[in-house]
Amino acid sequence: MGFFKNFFAKIGEILPEPEHKTHLPWWSLIAIILTLFALAAPAYLYWFGGLKSFDVLKADIEYRSLGDHTEIEELNYTAKTVKPVLYLNSPDLKDLNVTDRKDRFIAMLLPSILLTKLETQNKLAVIEKIMKKRYPSRKERQFVRNVFNEYTSDNERRNKTEITFEELKKRMLLHPNSVALAQAALESGWGTSHTFLQSNNLFGVWSFKTSEPRHHSQTRPGGFKVYVRKYDSIYASVRDYFNVIAVSRAFDDFRNARMDDNDSKSLVGYLLFYSEQRKEYIGKLRNVINHNDLQEFDDFQIDSRYLQTDKEF
């Protein structure tokens, strides 16, 4: 404040004294003040505004390390709800009978799927509100840029291709739980594969970057080495899987189809390029969904007792 006081004092010394002093009426002074405020408000909001006016749902998450399968939280099949527990590791389920193994696997995985969906829905809801604002703040603009970047593929970044808001919304659209459950079951052998137990990689996502954490999965004829991504937790694997489906050009048809179709057995038909098995893979996914009644889990939600509205995202 002292700087501005001295600055305007110096200006007063430089400017000549007017020949006729005039006194503005009080309403003119108020009008000038309001005009200055209106001009300054956008700049103030841009630099000092925040993300404090958006209501989002947050879950009271429990992070749990598992000693054995008995510590996996059971699902509430009556209410079709899930306690928001994120498991930091997976126990070996091989010694369980087939029915128990599948039940434990689904109970371990479903919370991560639902929490990933909640996070995505929150981001989209906030962005939609920001896009409607006339003067979004600097923090809000940065938030939007971060989300756009998250849903932009490496190839698009290299080519400096910018996606539209409509394309972003399509990429953030979510598919039924049963699709993710079926793919995880196939790719991880219901949580028993070496790749999953070593790297928390539920969906067989390959790694092509030496800079990222990864695990050597196999060496093919000709010496071609296959690496899969390595994750810190099941939740991290689930989040990355949804992002791969969201940004990869191989799944354009799948993303288009899920805008109008919410039937998992129909949707998996558009995952032709997820596996080298192509049509055989699609048949396997449909068999897994049918045989295990996985569509039952499409209606499951996070238990509302662990959800609360928060003002800050």
Q: Phi/psi of residue 54, each to 5°?
A: -110, 125
How do residues 71-119 score in pLDDT, each as one tens digit? 999 999 999 999 999 998 888 899 999 999 999 999 999 999 999 999 9
Q: Is 171 inside any structural domain? A: yes
Q: Is 136 inside any structural domain? A: yes
Q: Is 7 inside any structural domain? A: no
How do residues 226-259 score in pLDDT, each as one tens digit? 888 999 999 999 999 999 999 999 999 999 999 9
Residue 260, domain extent: 56-310
Q: Is 9 inside any structural domain? A: no
Across 2-16, 127-141, 294-308, the highest mean pLDDT is recorded for: 294-308
Q: How many domains is the chain built from?
A: 1
Q: Is 43 inside any structural domain? A: no
By DSSP bridging, strand 224-229 and strand 214-220 are: antiparallel
What confidence tier does 212 reach under pLDDT thresholds 50, 70, 90? confident
What confidence tier does 224 reach under pLDDT thresholds 50, 70, 90? confident
Q: Is 62 inside any structural domain? A: yes
Taking alpha carbons only, the member of 301, 236, 306 closest to residue 59 is: 306
Q: Is 134 inside any structural domain? A: yes
pTM of the full predicted structure?
A: 0.83
For residue 230, what is the domain's CATH number? Answer: 1.10.530.10
Take residue 5 and report the two structure tokens written for it. Answer: 């006081």
pLDDT at 201 over 70: yes
Taking alpha carbons only, the member of 288, 88, 267, 255 closest to residue 188 is: 288
Q: Is 281 inside any structural domain? A: yes
